[in-house]
Amino acid sequence: MKTPRISPETLRVLESFLERPTGWHYGYELSRETKLKSGTLYPILMRLEKHKLLEARWVATQDGVPPRHTYRLTPDGLELARTQLDEARSRWMIQQPALSRG
Amino acid sequence: MQEMPLRQAAALLLEYAIRIAPPESREWGQAMRGELSFVEGHWAALAWAFGGARVMAKHALISLLIPGRRGQAILFDGGLFARNVSVRKALQVTAAGLTLATLLFLAAPPFRQAVGVSLAAWNELLHITGRNGQSRLEALAIQAEGRRDPEGLVFAAARLTDARESSRLVTEAVQLNPDFDWAYAVVAVRHPEIPEVLEWVPQLARPDPQNALLHIISAESFDIAEGTKPSRRPYWEPREANPAWQSAMAAAFASPKFDDYLDRLRALDADVLRRYGFTDPYSVLAGEEEGLPSYAFWDCSTFAKSILQSGKDLEARGDRSGAVEKYWSVARFGQVIDSQARTDSERLLGLRLQAGAYNELRDFSTKGGNANEAALFAYLAATFGQPMESLRHGGTSIQPGATGHGVSGRNSESGSLAKPGERWVFGAYVSGRNALVLQVSSLIMVILCALLLVAASVLIAGIRQGGSSGAARNHPWATVLALISAVGLLLSSATIYLTYRPYWYIFQRAILDGDRSQARDLREFLSAIQFPPGFDLGRSPRFDVPLCFWAGVTLLAVAGLVIILLRHFPSRPEANRLHNHPRVP
């Protein structure tokens, strides 16, 4: 399967995942870390999941609160994320403040 | 977590968005809904919900337009058509929404004016109403009489086609305010048959004795009043037999000034239009275009011919100085008219007189052996003859590439004339094209309104007979027709609004603010839109590549929409089978 289009926003999401590569991430948590709005973040997550770069699962919550969707990168996703971020850094393509921390 | 109204609204919005989303996207909608409870801040929660709803709506739209794309199953039950919302019901609701959106255009003044203007050609063709809006002018006159408003009375008197009513209104206006006596001339120019004209002229001549217009009006009145003639002679018949007419025309040709009083008429337009909310551009501009009527044009031409002929006679008899004086008198009067002209007919007359006089002077100089002078007069005759030809053969007609800028009152690029201080904004070609777009859009709008009414009638009748679902099932074509008509109606309304909007602003600036620098485009546009496509006098229909291209694109789009809609009409067993998406918890 072809890899999804890697936009600067996608790179921000991938970088956020790489901060805890094996951990599960909530959507709202990713939104806060990447400063992306829901309308931008979720299409990226949907694309990553469609390309098998991301896995998702539902987590039960307290009574009366809807279950939460949580995500983590698959091994393929991790490899792609590292490759893309390395390439981006080496080419000085990334100028996002979040990345400057790394 | 306290459920505040904003958060509740956000939750409702997302839940509704999930309902309209296609099944394969609903899981993600649920994911966003799940996170909503953890978003900090009510406004932030609402923004989160808006973002999520946007994503769901986008997926719903894509699934509607491209069903089964990328090898996915066609999920008829899902998305916009989920659960108890049937496909046809959703389409009917969409059609109703689009129709309501179209109706909102009526709230925009440019759109209302555009519809009136765009339907003028069809009204004229079908003899529905006159495009000059005489009934609206009569209503305005009644209001002005009630308010004892001389400006309103003059405005109406200058534009009404009923001579007696025009005369009565202008007389009343001058009685209310004697400063409006110039309005007699405006009315007399339009209605020379009014018996009171001969009484008005001396009254006008007292403050403005050197104005050639008053003598021209007198000449026409003498001509009409001559003998017991029951009707006016054709304009092409010679008038030399009438001494009063000849005397008046001689006085006109000797006058150093020409004023058609259009400036004063325009000056009161803005106040009157604001006061009475009168927004019919045809009525407003039509009243201003008649600076010099056709009879005056032919009277002046006939008299000029007789002067030039008398010059030739003098020349034949050896009176060269007398002949030159005759020729120059015509050229000088042509200059007077041309330099003070405010309408195309006035300008054409001025040019015609000058071109004719310079031609005679060229011949005169050639015969006299003065080659330099002859060359100069030949140049002048050609200079004044060229734009004259352009005007006479439709100088304001649609000419490709006519993007002229007024140069000393003349458009050097297109050959047509610009009024003093006027310039093209779009040019004649674009204004003509816009007029065509508006005509076609208005016709499409009328047709689609009729189709929508038919479809709505069928659906309503079906609902009354056997419930909404039964009706829709029996008449699926009515639903498709309603939706296509509603889409077309919205598109044609938007086209009408966007196409006419610049002209509405030009009208506002020209009439209300007095800035007529761009009025030429509006005049050209209104002139072009008077005739339906193919009925334009003097212009033969031609194969129009851009028009055919866009017509083809429109037809293909409509055909595509029909195919998409027909593909979306599901069979219920399949819908039931695909009712639930397995991944949604």
Residue type, B369: G
A5 near B CB under 8 A: no
CA–CA separation, B539 and B542 (whole Å): 9
pTM greater than 0.80? no
CATH topology of domain A8-96: Arc Repressor Mutant, subunit A (1.10.10)
CA–CA separation, B193 and B200 (whole Å): 13
The whole-chain average pLDDT of chain B stands at 75
| Interface contact flag, B34 A56, Cβ < 8 Å | no
Cβ neighbours around A89 below 10 Å, total:
14
Asked if B197 and B300 count as a contact pair (C-beta separation under 8 A), the reply is: no
| Interface contact flag, A43 B55, Cβ < 8 Å | yes
Interface of A with B in 49-78 (CB under 8 A): 56, 58, 61, 65-69
Closest Cβ–Cβ partner in B27, B34, B55 for A39: B55
Cβ neighbours around B430 below 10 Å, total:
18
Q: What local confidence, expressed as pLDDT, does residue B129 receive?
A: 52
Q: What is the pLDDT of residues A40-66, one digit of tens each?
A: 999 999 999 989 999 999 988 887 788
Q: Chain A interface, mutation test: which of B2, B28, B35, most A Cβ atoms within 10 Å?
A: B35
Better-predicted residue by pLDDT, A24 or B70: A24
A27 near B CB under 8 A: yes
| Interface contact flag, B55 A42, Cβ < 8 Å | yes
CA-wise closest residue to A47 among A10, A96, A88, A93: A10
User: With helix as H, strand as E and coil as C, how does B435-501 read?
Assistant: HHHHHHHHHHHHHHHHHHHHHHHHHHHHHHHHCHHHHHHHCHHHHHHHHHHHHHHHHHHHHHHHHHH
Instruction: Return the domain boundaries, chain A.
Output: 8-96
CA–CA separation, B510 and B522 (whole Å): 9
Chain A residue whose CA is closest to B584:
A58
> Nearest CA of chain B to the CA of A3: how many Å?
16
CA-wise closest residue to B332 among B219, B432, B212, B412: B212
pLDDT at A24 over 90: yes
| Interface contact flag, B38 A43, Cβ < 8 Å | no
Residue type, A96: Q
Q: What local confidence, expressed as pLDDT, does residue B79 receive?
A: 37
Q: Chain B interface, mutation test: which of A9, A69, A71, most B Cβ atoms within 10 Å?
A: A69
Q: What local confidence, expressed as pLDDT, does residue A33 receive?
A: 92
A4 near B CB under 8 A: no
Residue type, B275: R
Q: What local confidence, expressed as pLDDT, does residue A63 receive?
A: 75
A8 near B CB under 8 A: no
Distances (CA, A) of B245 to B254, B395, B421: 14, 31, 35
CA-wise closest residue to A32 among B41, B33, B11, B7: B41
> Nearest CA of chain A to the CA of B1: how many Å?
9
Residues lower than pLDDT 70 in chain B = 1-3, 65-87, 121-133, 225-241, 286-294, 387-424, 464-475, 532-547, 564-585
